[in-house]
Every structure is written in C-alpha cells, then in structure tokens.
Chains A and B, each alone.
Chain A
Amino acid sequence: MQLNALKPGESAIINGIQAEQALVQRLHALGFRPGKQVQVVRQAAFNGPLHIRIGSTDVVIRVQDAQAIHLANPSPESLSA
C-alpha cells in the first residue's frame, strides 16, 4: 500500500520510499524515513495534492508523487488519530 491510498484523517507507518534519487533525497530531507508515522490531514479539491503531516512538519505532495512512499499496513488504533 502507498501513501496515496490513505484517506484524510488516516495515518500509517512508512515502510520504504521508491522513486528517482532526487525525490528520495528531498523526501528524506523533509523527514520521510522508514519507521516514521505519516498522517494525511486533507486533500485539495478535484483529486488535488495531499496535505501530509510527518512528525512536526507539514508537507504538500501530489497524489502521483505520494505513490513513491510505501506504507506498512495501518494498525487499527492509528485510524482514529
């Protein structure tokens, strides 16, 4: 499962990142790392970009780029976050 599969309000743990090197590096610098929890805060209208929260950082990312971020299966209690 990838990050773009999460609905607003849901969160999950990052499993890995698969993309071209530049994007991987940028995501790393913004704090995207395996083991970290990410939450989808909201999505812009018309299948627009996702507003993601990772740690104390808020990030905007397009749905297609969010596919690069692979998730571990979400635990039930994190869904209520």
Chain B
Amino acid sequence: MKRVALLGMPNTGKSTLFNRLSGASARVGNWPGMTVDLLSAKILLGGHIAELVDLPGLYDLHGFSDDEEVVRHFLSNHPIDLALIILNSAQIDRQLSLALQIRALGLPTVLLLNMEDEAKRAGITIDTKQMSQELGMPVLTISAKYGSGCPEALQLAARVLEKKTPASDPQLIATQLQADNAVEQEMQRIIDRSVQMPLQLNTSTTDRIDRVLLHPWFGLPLFFLAIFLLFQFIFTIGAPLQDATAWIFDTLRGEILDPALSGLPTWLNGLLLDGLYTGLSTVAAFVPIIVLFFLVMSMVEDSGYLSRAAFLMDTLMAKMGLDGRGFVMVLMGFGCNVPALMGTRVMRSRPMRLLTMLTIPLSLCSARLQVFLFMIAILFPPSQAAMALFSLYMVSFFTIFLTAILFKQKFVSSEPFVLELPPYRFPTPNQIWIRGWQEVKHFLYRATKFIVIGVLMVWLLTHLPTTAVPASSETWAGSIGRFFAPVLDPIGIDNHLAIALIFGFVAKEIVVGSLAVIYGLQGDALSHQIAANIDWVQGMSFMLFTLIYTPCLSTIATLRSESKSRGFMWLSLGWSLGLAWLISLAFYQGVRALGY
C-alpha cells in the first residue's frame, strides 16, 4: 500500500485537511503542537487504497521540539511515496522554507496552499504556476475549511503516485537530514519572483480586535470577563437541557422499564434498575451541558484567543516558574486534563514541562464539573449556586499557583518564550459539529469502559453480603468506609461519600452515578436524600477533595507516559492526595470552628 504523509507548520489547517480527506475527525486546534498522536487513515487515491499519515505540525525540519523530532524520526524510519505539504498562504513568505527543506530530501511532493481567503484579505496574490515551475513540484490552492480544491488535490496526488517513483529510502533521508542549510537563500529568491505581497500589511480585523483584547491594562480583565460570560452562557442554555434529559430518563423508567422488568427476580431487577439504570441515567443527564461546554471550549481554542491569553498571562506565570503556554494548558485542562498534559510537548525544557504537568491535574476538568453541578444544585439555593461554582474555580487556580510556587525551585528552567500569534479565526459549523459529535462519542466510550463497571461494582459492594440491609454499615461498602474512617472523618466525609470518592479515583464520571446507586434513588428523590444526610460544610469539603485529588486513571497513565518517569507520577499522585486532604481538613475544621 502506498503511504502519503501530510506535513505542515502548526496553525495551517493541517488537521482540518486531514479530517476532510480521511472523513475521520481528528481534533482541530489553533495551538502549536495540538496534533500529538500520529493519526492515519485509509483513503481512496486514483482507484487504490493509500495510507494517509498526519504528521505533527513543525516549523523546521531541523528544529529541536519533540514534534519536530517525531517527524524526523518518522521520515528516517518509514518509506513514504508522497509528501503532501500544506502551507498557510497568508504566511507563505516564511513557510515556504518547509517545502524547500522537504524537497531537498528528494521526496515526491505536492504543495497545497491553504487559507487562500485569509491571503486574499491580506492583499497577497500567489502565482501558483510560476511557483510550481520554480519549485519543480505541483502547487495547488485549497481551502481545507470550506473544502474547495480538495478533490483536485486528491486527483493530483493520485497522478503523482501513478508515476510509480520508488518510495523514499529512510536511511538516505536520515543522512540527508543531518546536513543542509542553504534553503533560506533559495526561498527568498523564489518568494521574490513568484509572490507579490504588500510590504506593510493593512490594518486588518485581527489588528483592530487585538487593540482592544490585548490592551496593556484592560486585556486581562476582558479575558476573565469573556471566560465568565462563556460559562454563564453554557449554564443558561445547559441547565434546562439537563432538566429535560433527567425528566426523560425518569419517565422512561416509571412508564416503561418498571412495569416491563417487574417479572424479574428482585436481585436482578435491583441490579439492572437501581444499579445500572440509575447510575447511568444520573450521569447521562449531564451530557448536554458537557457537550455544550466542549463546543464553546473548542471555539475558543480554534479562534486564536488562547495564544493571546498566553501573551497576557506570561508575566504573572513567569513569577511562578512557568510561562504563558502553561496558562493555556491549564485552561485546556478545564476541558480534559489528558490532552492538556500531552500539549506540554511543545515545551523543550524538561523542568518547565514537568512543572507544568504537575499543575495541570489540578485544573477543574469537565468530569469534575459534573460532580460540582450535581452537588451544588442539592446543597445551595439557586442564588448562591453560581458563587459556589466560581469559588471552586478560584480554588483550582489557587492550588495550581501554590503548586508551581512550591515546586519551582526543584524545576528550574531558562527556556526562551517565543510564541506565534495566529490571526483570529472562526470555525465553520461543520467543524463545530464534528467536535461536538466527538465529545459525545468520547463520553459513550468512557461510559462503557468505566461507568458501567463502576456502578455495577458499587451496587455489588452496597448489596453484599446478601444478609445485610442494602447500603448499611454491615455491607462490604460499609467495611471499606469504616477502614477509611480515621482519615475521612476529620474532613467530614461519611461512609456513603467515601465509596463515591474511592470510585472517583478511576474516573470522576463515576462519582455522581455511584452516589445514585449507593442511595438507590434517582432524580429529585436522590437530591432530597443527600440534602437530608449531609450539610453544606460536608458537601463543600467533599467537593474540595474531589477537585484536588487525582482526576482519573487516564490522567495518571498520561503523566507516566509523558514524563517517562514513574517517580514523577508518584510525586504528582502523592502531592494531589495530600493537598486535597489538607485543604479539605482546613476548610472543614475551620468552618466548623466558626460555628456552622
């Protein structure tokens, strides 16, 4: 099978093009180095199946970042039949260097110039014929976002493959990669001949937006205001959706499932309805709000605003031994900690990367958000709910800053901070749709993997041995609770909550589901029961612990694989557990001492 490699600089729409050509849905990110795992897909090229490989975005074939190393490693170890190079037309004057570097390797190449709309707006016209002649490779303008030029690109690729030039020799490429540097001069010559570009670009829309959003004094307040408004938007739209979903699951059970399954033995009926169904439906009620959350996050991510946030926050982050990119990773961690941890690959200095990775698991991810939305709705009146959630986000920032300050002496680095600011972009409805659908798939995947097994185990623990009253202290769950009581009593966490916390270690999505199973209730009945069992001080202590202790097994596995150090993984695990306990203890005992 022929192998086609997709190469390009970050922020050129490479992932978008890959999605379009493959029909799959790799994530699109407007952040250098987002495409971290090597994605590949089988596509039809001129009647033959070919393998399309999406290589990480790189600035320079001879650069020093992990991603650039990955590309070199790939080219030096795997033969390829065609290199599809994608460049940003609006920045062709500097990006062409990559095409020349790849051409110098002697690979069969097709050059795709993306974002012609942006180039046009900037007053740049490219003579593709002239450029193609100069380069000695086919050149085509496309729009990965809107799809224009993409069928032609595939045809062109098929024609090049039909010429049956032998595939690249990895060993030869490995030697070539070691030496060559005369690229720059030739690039300038070709640009001079084939590209007309206004010397000073007109004040574009991006400039005008930046003048406001990057204002030295108003920039940061505006950033936090924007984030706050986005959250407000999510919850205003999401809350009714959540109620509707919960109602549907409730009705489904009352009207259909209860009568239909009444013939089953009591234990099986309990396992299926009070265990599986109650657990899953309680979690599933949060799906709409989480999907909405990810949609908004992905729009912010693709817009280019996050790089601006890095610019605004860098000075403050530098005081904590981090840099602006670390702040962006923390923000991405609000969605999910795992991709945020992988995103730290753009950092070259290992101490800086490790310090950033130590802080990321403390950012309040969407799975924890579920737990908080659930508990806050039970424990606080609607007028105080927003404030309670906001304070948890503040605690998240506080623990991140505290961790960085405490550990910065151990992870000293002097990595230069140089970051590209892409122009503002708006994702198309199609991109948003693909992303939203992916999040639903991701949730269903986790649901089958963790939640089903989790809630079933919780049900068993709270119902065995069969002689015990369900969820009482004689059950296995009760014994586990008693075992941990000396540690958890001082922070106000009772037997029931303890079981939820233990399973939350696997994934926070289980927490809400297992609470439903532990109490054997769902919907309003569950809320009333929990409200009767614990007061707001215990609930808050529970939430603080949930916020700070290790987010999930996937995060731990990612910490281990990204740091390549078991010791670092244990450090992160131990630190977050210890910090969670100490902060919950301080809060619980402090508030109780105040007389609440």
Interface residues of A (CB under 8 A from B): 19, 22-23, 25-31, 33, 41-49, 51, 55-62, 65, 68, 81
Contacts and interface: CB of A to CB of B under 8 A. Distances in A.
Contacts of A55: 91, 93-94, 197
B314 A62 contact: yes
Contacts of B323: 62
B64 A22 contact: yes
Interface stretch (B274-282, B415-423, B453-461): B415-423
B216 interface: yes
27 contacts: A22-B64, A22-B348, A23-B418, A25-B63, A26-B63, A26-B64, A29-B59, A44-B214, A44-B314, A49-B324, A49-B417, A51-B311, A55-B91, A55-B93, A57-B94, A58-B423, A59-B420, A60-B311, A60-B324, A60-B417, A60-B419, A61-B416, A61-B417, A62-B318, A62-B416, A65-B418, A81-B200
A10 to B, nearest CB: 14
B352 interface: no
Nearest to A59: B420
B420 A58 contact: yes
Contacts of B60: 25-26, 28-29
Contacts of A59: 418-421
A19 B307 contact: no
Interface string B292-323: 00000000000000010011101100100001
B502 interface: no
A75 B10 CA distance: 34
Nearest to A20: B416
Nearest to A48: B315
Given A26-B60, A29-B60, A49-B314, A56 B201 contact: yes
A26 B58 CA distance: 10
A26 B418 contact: yes
Contacts of B596: none
B122 interface: yes
B124 interface: yes
B20 interface: no
B59 A26 contact: yes
A60 B124 CA distance: 23
Interface residues of B, number: 40
Contact of B417 (A27, A58, A62): A62
Contact of A27 (B90, B217, B418): B418
Nearest to A33: B184
A60 B314 contact: yes
B420 A51 contact: no
A81 B200 CA distance: 9
B315 A44 contact: yes
Given A23-B416, A44-B216, 4 more contacts: A29-B97, A57-B94, A60-B419, A65-B416
Contacts of A28: 60, 184
A20 to B, nearest CB: 8
Interface string B404-437: 0000000000001111111100000000000000
Contacts of B520: none
Contacts of B220: 45
Interface string B13-35: 00000000000000000000000
Contacts of B103: none
B189 to A, nearest CB: 13
Contacts of A48: 311-312, 314-315
Interface in B189-216: 197, 200-201, 210, 214, 216
Contacts of B214: 42, 44, 51
Contacts of A33: 184
Given A49-B417, A81-B200, A57 B91 contact: yes
B350 interface: no
A56 B90 contact: yes
B42 interface: no
Question: Closest 9 interchain pairs by CB?
Answer: A31-B94, A29-B59, A29-B60, A48-B315, A58-B421, A65-B416, A62-B417, A22-B64, A60-B419
A26 B312 CA distance: 22
A60 B421 contact: yes
Contact of A31 (B93, B201, B311, B416): B93
B266 to A, nearest CB: 65
Given A22-B348, A29-B97, A47-B315, A60 B216 contact: no
B253 interface: no
Contacts of A23: 416, 418
Contact of B315 (A29, A42, A46, A61): A46
B145 interface: no
Nearest to A45: B216
A43 B311 CA distance: 9
A57 B416 CA distance: 18
A44 B418 contact: no
Nearest to B60: A29
B345 interface: no
B79 interface: no
A64 to B, nearest CB: 8
Contacts of B420: 30, 57-60
Interface in B119-134: 122, 124
B219 interface: yes
Contacts of A68: 416
B482 interface: no
Contacts of A49: 311, 314-315, 324, 417
Nearest to B216: A45
A19 to B, nearest CB: 7
B560 interface: no
Contacts of B201: 56
A62 B307 CA distance: 14
For B124, B310, B312, the residue with the greatest tally of chain A CB atoms inside 10 Å of its CB is B312
Nearest to A39: B200
Contacts of A45: 216-217, 219-220, 315
